[in-house]
Amino acid sequence: MSAELVTINTEWLSDCSGCHIAIVDLHEKILAVLESVRIQRCPVLTDIKDYPPAKIGLVSGAIRNEHDKQAAIEMRNSCDLIIAWGSCAVFGGPAGAGNVHTREEIADAVYLNNKTTITTTLPNREISPLEVSVTPIDKVIEVDLYLAGCPPHPTYIFDALLSLLEGRTPKATKESVCAKCKRQMKKSDVSEIRQHTDGIPDPDLCFLSQGYICMGSATIDRCLSPCPTNGVPCTGCAGATMQILTEPNRDIRTEIADRMARMTKIPREEIIKEIEKSSKSHYSYTMASTMVSEKPTFLIKKWIHEANEDYEAAHG
Partner 1 sequence: MSTAQTVEIHVHEQACRGCEMCVDICPTKVFGFDEDKRLCTVGHAQDCIACLSCAYICPSGAITHSNYHQVKNFYRDLEFSKRMGKFL
Q: What residues numbered 138-157 form the site for partner 1, per CB under 8 A?
A: 138, 143-148, 156
Q: By C-beta, is 113 or 243 nearer to partner 1?
A: 243
Q: By C-beta, is 147 or 237 nearer to partner 1?
A: 147
Q: How far apart are CA 234 and CA 138, in angstroms?
A: 26
x/- map, 14-53, partner 1, by CB under 8 A:
----------------------------------------
Q: How many CB atoms lie within 10 A of CB 173?
A: 11
Least Å from the CB of residue 16 to partner 1: 21
297 is a contact residue toward partner 1 (CB under 8 A): no
Q: By C-beta, is 39 or 82 nearer to partner 1?
A: 82
241 is a contact residue toward partner 1 (CB under 8 A): yes
Q: How far apart are CA 222 and CA 151, in angstroms?
A: 8
Instruction: Mention every residue, 6+ apart, whose C-beta is less than 8 A from residue 286.
Output: 87, 91, 92, 96, 236, 239, 240, 252, 292
265 is a contact residue toward partner 1 (CB under 8 A): no
Interface with partner 1 by CB under 8 A: which range of 21-29, 65-73, 193-201, 238-246?
238-246
81 is a contact residue toward partner 1 (CB under 8 A): no
What is the 8-class DSSP label of residue 85?
A: E
Q: Where are the alpha helices (DSSP H) in 79-153?
A: 87-91, 103-107
Q: How far apart are CA 254 and CA 275, in angstroms?
A: 9
What is the 8-class DSSP label of residue 98?
A: G
75 is a contact residue toward partner 1 (CB under 8 A): no
Least Å from the CB of residue 38 to partner 1: 22
Give kind and range of the element (H or E) at residue 236: none
Q: What residues numbered 175-204 form the site for partner 1, per CB under 8 A?
A: 175-176, 178-181, 183-187
Q: By C-beta, is 65 or 153 nearer to partner 1?
A: 153
Pairing, β 54-60 against β 79-85 = parallel
251 is a contact residue toward partner 1 (CB under 8 A): no
Q: By C-beta, is 65 or 260 nearer to partner 1?
A: 260
Coil/strand/helix, residue 278:
coil
In terms of C-beta density within 10 A (0-12 exposed, 13-18 middle, 19 or more buried), how is residue 100 classed? middle
Interface with partner 1 by CB under 8 A: which range of 31-39, 97-105, 255-263, 300-308?
255-263
What is the 8-class DSSP label of residue 93?
A: G
Coil/strand/helix, residue 119:
coil
235 is a contact residue toward partner 1 (CB under 8 A): no
Q: How many CB atoms lie within 10 A of CB 122?
A: 11
304 is a contact residue toward partner 1 (CB under 8 A): no
**Of 153, 2, 149, 161, residue with least CA distance to 81:** 161
Interface with partner 1 by CB under 8 A: which range of 13-21, 36-44, 100-108, 166-174?
166-174
Give kind and range of the element (H or E) at residue 58: strand 54-60
Q: Kindly list the residues in this chain that would bind partner 1 in the complex (CB under 8 A).
A: 83, 138, 143-148, 156, 160, 170, 172-176, 178-181, 183-187, 206, 208, 216-217, 241-243, 245-248, 250, 258-259, 262-263, 291
